[in-house]
Amino acid sequence: MTLVLITFAVLLLGGAPIAVAMCVPAVIYLVQSDLPFTVMTQRLTQSLNSFPLLAIPLFILAGRLLNAGGVTDRIFRFAHNLVGSVPGGLGHVNVVGSLIFAGMSGTAIADLGGIGQVEVRAMKKAGYPMRFTAGITAASSIVGPVIPPSVPLILFAISSDTSVLALFAGGIVPGFVIGAFLMVAVYIYSRYADLPTVPWQGERALAISFFAALPPLFAPVLLIGGMMGGVFSPTEAAAVTVFYALFLAVVVYRDLRPSQLPVLLLEMIPMIANLGFIIAASLLFAWVLVIEQVPQLIVQFLAHFSSDKWVLLTVVVLAFLVIGCFVEATIVFLVVAPMLLPTLKAVGINEIHFGIITVVAMGIGLFTPPVGLALYMLRDMCEISFEEAVKAVAPFLIALVAALALITYVPEIVLVVPRALGLLR
Amino acid at 203: E
Give the model's pLDDT for residue 171.
92
3-state secondary structure of 287: helix
| Nearest-10 crossing angle of helices 18-33, 2-13 | 160
pLDDT tens-place string over residues 367-424 = 887 666 677 777 877 888 878 888 888 889 999 999 999 999 999 999 999 998 888 8
User: Following DSSP, what letter does each residue of 182-238 receive, concatenated?
Assistant: HHHHHHHHHHHS-PPP-----HHHHHHHHHHHHHHHHHHHHHHHHHHTTSS-HHHHH
Q: Could you give the percent of the chain with pLDDT greater than 70? A: 97
Give the model's pLDDT for residue 88.
75
pLDDT tens-place string over residues 133-174 = 888 888 888 888 898 888 889 889 888 888 888 999 999 999
- Mean pLDDT confidence for 46-69: 77
Element of type H or E holding 330: helix 329-331
Give the model's pLDDT for residue 361.
92
The residue ranking higher by pLDDT, 104 or 399, is: 399
Give the model's pLDDT for residue 9.
77
Lowest mean pLDDT across 119-123, 295-299, 343-347, 353-357: 295-299
The residue ranking higher by pLDDT, 145 or 305, is: 145
- Distance, in Å, from the CA atom of 298 to the CA atom of 311, rounded to the nearest integer, reads 15
Give the model's confidence band at 25: pLDDT under 50 very low, under 70 low, under 90 confident, else very high. confident
Query: For the chain, what is the mean pLDDT?
Result: 83
User: Following DSSP, what letter does each residue of 357-380 receive, concatenated?
Assistant: HHHHHHHHHTTSTTT-HHHHHHHH
The pLDDT of residue 285 is above 70: yes
Element of type H or E holding 40: helix 37-48
